[in-house]
Chain A
Amino acid sequence: MSFVLNKVRRAMYLDSVALMRLSRAIADIDGVEEAALMMGTPANHEIMSDAGLMAAEGRTAGGGDLVIAIRATGETVAEAALKDAEAQLEAPTAKSEDAQAWQARTLRSAVAAMPGANLALISVPGDFAAAEARKAIRRGLDAMIFSDNVSLDDEAALKREAANLGRLVMGPDCGTAIIAGTPLAFANVVPTGDIGIVGASGTGIQEISCLIAQSGGGISHAIGVGGRDLKSEVGGISTLMALDALRNDPATRHIVVVAKPPGADVTAKVLSRLADAGKPATLCLMGAEPLDLPSNVTQVYSLRDAAFGALGLDAPMATAPSEPAREGEILGLYSGGTLAAEAQVILLGQGDSLRSNAAIPGVSNEDGTGHLILDLGDDVYTRGRPHPMIDPGVRDTPLIEALSRTDIAVILLDVVIGYGAHDDPAQHLAQIIAEHRTDASPHLITSVTGTEADRQVRSSQLNRLVQAGVHVAPSNAEAVYWARALVT
């Protein structure tokens, strides 16, 4: 019978990345079934309860308290693991390298210490993110909110206030931006150029900006707006402000918009603003039907076509690997949500039947039939766990299972590198493949979203994957076409 042990450390805070790292270390101890170190916010209470990690003490924790929650095979193991966790919390490495230096305790004192501050990058727990962003915009800063779990009502109210103040709010749940040549959060090192991107999707911005970079182009700015900005409740406030900013930006020659399809009312606003911009524009609404467009706007249906459309080039198509085709279906195990959406758009366009946990219009949910495209960055997989772009281990279990399946023809993967991402995702994948692949395993196809200037170095990642027997396509779109070519 399992034993659940909780300890609450009052008024102690560590950021979520540090806590996830500690949680994983404690969960790996022999005899520990599950472990979590989390702030006691309402959302985290729910996660820990659902995971069977809550005891009476944990339930007393407030949002400013840290909960150590352990479920183990017995009381002795749990006590030992708790002692280990507390020792690690006291270790100096639990905080960043700057922990010893003076640091502002509030936004106000940070702004006082750095006159001319112009952007607040906010990644606190979602329950507090809107409050911090509100302080930032009222002090004259624009805000990028990386945090998720901000309510739609809070997002709409915050963006309305920001618009009245003339401030731009990127996010919530904004994973990627490149502003004035500076990559923020999960972004890649791309050359500066004349293409401006407005994106409601992090990996969408990453794939488009990297494909542009690989073909010799560059990015003026990539403005993330968060996945819900184009919902009717928010009305595209940040998207419209970003389009105005790019219209007025002399460095931007061509504008790209990437998002999920919005409602008709918001679509009309975006098209009208694109027409006003008067610059050539490429519109990529993943899974949308063809639209009536202003004369300066071209609609495309994939991230690859968005990149090459902005460059004014025809999108190339690399030749598929010369491997025997197999009977079966494609299984997509994606870390990037918009890369998973692009796979669906392409397969649907080929008339295939498919299903997904993050289905675009026209695709059935996981209970359907046909190819299965999984977005492993979806909340179902990441609640209380790191995103698979940070910790590729999140993909291990479904990948290992798929490598033994004879009814799957192709396993389709993505590898996303750059700031924020894992140090060496290709090596992690290669190791899993080397340990679990057999002669009967499905074909493996991937692409690498990134550039040579990223610290993981795209060509190094690519070579490692090729050595591991993975076919690496130049883009996610081509990876999907290759996958189809290897299915009978």
Chain B
Amino acid sequence: MSEKSNLLQGPLKVVNIGLDSFADELKSQGVEVQNVDWSPPASGDPRMAALLSKLGS
């Protein structure tokens, strides 16, 4: 469905999921970042979260 990765051509547009400090450091470099206010999906059940991701949710 997708073409091959052309990541190396840049510029990076980063979705940050997890440590807020990574988003802050990228912003300080002038990189375009969307930070996700993440919390564990599926009430924190990793097996259910994995299943949901496989179903495309």
Binding site for B on A (CB under 8 A): 11, 13, 15-18, 39-42, 62-65, 95-98, 103-107, 109-111, 113-114, 116-125, 127-128, 130-132, 134-136, 138, 140-142, 146-147, 154, 165-168, 179-185, 220-221, 241, 245-246, 249, 251, 419-420
Contacts and interface: CB of A to CB of B under 8 A. Distances in A.
Nearest to B9: A180
Contacts of B24: 96-98
B37 A122 contact: no
Please give me the 6 A-B residue pairs with the lowest Cβ-Cβ distance, nearest first. Answer: A64-B44, A180-B10, A63-B44, A123-B18, A96-B20, A131-B53
Contacts of B45: 62-64
A140 B15 CA distance: 12
B7 A107 contact: no
A225 B17 CA distance: 18
Contacts of B54: 134
A182 B19 CA distance: 18
Contacts of A185: 22
Contacts of A420: 21-22, 25
Contact of B19 (A123, A154, A168, A251): A123
B20 A39 contact: no
Interface in B1-57: 1-26, 29, 31-32, 34-46, 49-50, 52-54, 56
A39 B1 CA distance: 36
Contact of B7 (A98, A132, A142): A142
Interface of B: 1-26, 29, 31-32, 34-46, 49-50, 52-54, 56
Interface of B is mostly: mixed
Contacts of A245: 5, 7-8
Contacts of B7: 118-119, 142, 168, 179-180, 245
Nearest to B2: A140
Given A41-B40, A124-B38, A128-B49, 15 more contacts: A62-B43, A113-B34, A114-B34, A117-B15, A118-B13, A120-B17, A123-B19, A125-B40, A140-B1, A165-B2, A166-B3, A180-B8, A185-B22, A245-B7, A246-B8
A481 to B, nearest CB: 34
Contacts of A141: 15
A121 B26 CA distance: 11
Contact of B12 (A119, A123, A249): A119
A41 B23 CA distance: 24
Contacts of A180: 7-12
6 contacts: A63-B46, A121-B15, A123-B16, A128-B40, A132-B38, A167-B2
B40 to A, nearest CB: 4
B8 A121 contact: no
Contacts of A117: 13-15, 34
Contacts of A15: 18-20
A97 B20 CA distance: 9
